[in-house]
Amino acid sequence: NNQVAPPVSARIPDYACQRHTPLQHHNTKFTDALEILEKYADLRYDDQDYSRALAFRRASCVLKSLSRPLSRLSEIQNVTHIGSHSQKVIQEILEDGTSEEVEKICADPWFQKMKLFTAIFGIGPARAKEFIAKGWSSIQEVRDGCTSSDWRIQWGLAFHEDLTTPVTRAEADYILGVVRRHVDRVLPGAVMELTGGFRRGKQTGHDVDILIMHPLENKIIGALPRLLQSLQSHDIVLCGRHERSTYHEELLTQNTKLSPRGQLDHFEKWIGIIKVPNKIRIKNDQSDKTSSHQLGNNKCNTDMKENKDKCENRNFQSDKNTDSCKRDVGNESVLYQRQEDTLDSGSAISDSLEDVWESLDKASSSSSPSHGNPREVKASQGDWIARRVDLIISPFSQFFYALVGWTGSKQFNRDARTYAEREMNMKLSSHGLYDFNQGKQLVASSEREVFDNLKLPYFEPQDRNC
């Protein structure tokens, strides 16, 4: 077949949320290089000029969505998001296999130290630069010299090796199972989703993101502190911080500025570190070497079976063709039917909400950031590994927007939000979608409806890996 394929540029939509972006794609030799340039620009120029980093990320995103390997620069010369700098790098790689500029950056000691230090939980570029200015170049030097009282940095330093060992899919499933057992106790009827990179099909991640909701709008009040208390009483939690919701309805229309490194949302959440038995990860390692990740799933069978029973008990349709309801979804629109609130709805509740939260804050002294001294805990560590977990709790009415937001990727969200604003005159966030044309919120009772409301074709989570 010597027919020339049509130029790829003719078929590339402007926004990443309009393109299939699978995890496995055909242009890694370019995207790896562009992502190094992105990272470098992010660390070097960070808050002053994030657009430099974004330009490389956009170019990389386009290449990830191509259905075949790029063979000539001319194929992408007119693509909006591939600027001249990115084109130069792509051209270099097409000719020589590598880019000199990228090689130089990789060998740059400053870059290596910045990557090392910003990988510490709680450390951002600003503090990493302070460490370098002090002449530090290893984690041990930071451990010896850093006097920060920030709980994240203290635990991040003590458990750095644990936290930079990739979390496996089997561990994510295990954590989901553990959290589910406790959720079932403190918030019966709740629905949970594993979100973040794992939902997009990644086999490893840096943390586990779990979104929780209840079909009764007001049931979630007070549930997260109860959940944490339950987890803590079983000695699962190492440290963490409970953040109360800062949501109010005006946020739906307000022009909130997004922080350069991700979207801020206003959900009640918990950010912390929990313990996972080593055997969970080791089983997954074996499965990676043999056939797919089946072994990894097997070890969760008891959890899953138990969960399935529970799902059926509470009238949530589990996927009967598999032995699990680990994503709680068979047909999501059936699964997530809203139930009538038994509480008085509306203003009475929002009036009392402040009081509820205040009393929760008082009561949650037990969910204070840390439990014991991080170094001492590390020194007496048993047969477990520390894992970063994010628990987010959403009211039913915001759930599907929260699900899209917490599934990501970050770039997918960024483009979906820009698309909503520029093309639709709407404002999209993890809390909802506001249509300025109609002057009202657009509700969604499935993930598909979020896309429908935006007049976007639906993309599965696996195709949102931009």
Residues making contact with ligand CTP (CB under 6 A): 196-197, 202, 205-207, 209, 262-265, 405-406, 408-410, 413, 430
Torsion angle (degrees, nearest 10) of CA 103, 415, 465, 8: -70
Enter the DSSP assignment of 252: G
CA distances from 343 to 127, 152, 186, 346, 371 (A): 47, 38, 18, 9, 36
Which of the choices ligand CTP, Mn ion, none does residue 156 contact, using the CB cut-off of 5 to 8 A by kind?
Answer: none
> Which is closer to ligand CTP, CB of 143 or CB of 241?
241
CA distances from 122 to 43, 159, 243 (A): 15, 12, 16
> Which is closer to ligand CTP, CB of 181 or CB of 202?
202
Which of the choices Mn ion, ligand CTP, none does residue 413 contact, using the CB cut-off of 5 to 8 A by kind?
Answer: ligand CTP
Instruction: Name the nearest CA neighbour of 353 among 268, 280, 441, 437.
Output: 268
Among 177, 196, 272, 405, binds Mn ion (CB under 5 A): 196
Which amino acid, residue 182? Answer: H
Which of the choices ligand CTP, Mn ion, none does residue 118 contact, using the CB cut-off of 5 to 8 A by kind?
Answer: Mn ion
Q: Nearest distance from residue 283's CB to ligand CTP, in Å? A: 20
Residue 265 found at the interface with Mn ion (CB under 5 A): no
Alpha-carbon distance of 302 to 309, in angstroms, equals 11
> Which is closer to ligand CTP, CB of 34 or CB of 82?
34
> Which is closer to Mn ion, CB of 30 or CB of 399?
399
> Which is closer to ligand CTP, CB of 197 or CB of 225?
197
Enter the DSSP assignment of 27: -
Alpha-carbon distance of 19 to 21, in angstroms, equals 6
Alpha-carbon distance of 206 to 196, in angstroms, equals 10
Which of the choices ligand CTP, Mn ion, none does residue 430 contact, using the CB cut-off of 5 to 8 A by kind?
Answer: ligand CTP
Residues 371 to 390 in contact with Mn ion, rule: CB under 5 A:
390
> Which is closer to Mn ion, CB of 13 or CB of 124?
124
Determine the 3-state secondary structure of 239 from DSSP.
strand
Q: How many residues bind Mn ion (CB under 5 A)?
A: 8
> Which is closer to ligand CTP, CB of 377 or CB of 433?
433
How many angstroms separate the first and last alpha carbons of the chain? 31
Alpha-carbon distance of 132 to 155, in angstroms, equals 20
Among 173, 207, 332, 447, binds Mn ion (CB under 5 A): 207
> Which is closer to ligand CTP, CB of 259 or CB of 302?
259
Alpha-carbon distance of 336 to 366, in angstroms, equals 32
Q: Cis omega before residue 409 (within 30°)?
A: yes
Encoding tokens for residue 383?
């047969």
Q: Nearest distance from residue 455's CB to ligand CTP, in Å? A: 22
Output phi, psi for 329, to 5 deg.
Answer: -110, 125
Which of the choices Mn ion, ligand CTP, none does residue 272 contact, using the CB cut-off of 5 to 8 A by kind?
Answer: none
Residue 209 found at the interface with Mn ion (CB under 5 A): yes
CB neighbours of 386 closer than 8 A, spacing ≥ 6? 155, 159, 162, 163, 238, 273, 274, 275, 276
> Which is closer to ligand CTP, CB of 65 or CB of 430?
430
Q: Nearest distance from residue 202's CB to Mn ion, in Å? A: 9
Which of the choices Mn ion, ligand CTP, none does residue 29 contact, using the CB cut-off of 5 to 8 A by kind?
Answer: none
Residue 411 found at the interface with Mn ion (CB under 5 A): no
Q: Nearest distance from residue 385's CB to ligand CTP, in Å? A: 16
Q: Nearest distance from residue 150's CB to ligand CTP, in Å? A: 17
Q: Nearest distance from residue 127's CB to Mn ion, in Å? A: 9
Tokens 């992105």, residue?
Answer: 38
Binding mask 98-137 for Mn ion (x = CB under 5 A): --------------------x----x--------------
Alpha-carbon distance of 422 to 401, in angstroms, equals 19
Which of the choices ligand CTP, Mn ion, none does residue 262 contact, using the CB cut-off of 5 to 8 A by kind?
Answer: ligand CTP
> Which is closer to Mn ion, CB of 30 or CB of 159?
159
CA quadruple 103, 105, 110, 115: dihedral positive or negative? Answer: negative
Q: Nearest distance from residue 259's CB to ligand CTP, in Å? A: 9
Q: Nearest distance from residue 369's CB to ligand CTP, in Å? A: 18
Task: Decide: residue 233, CB within 10 A, 0-12 exposed, 13-18 middle, 19+ buried.
Answer: exposed
The residues binding Mn ion (CB under 5 A) are: 118, 123, 196-197, 205, 207, 209, 390
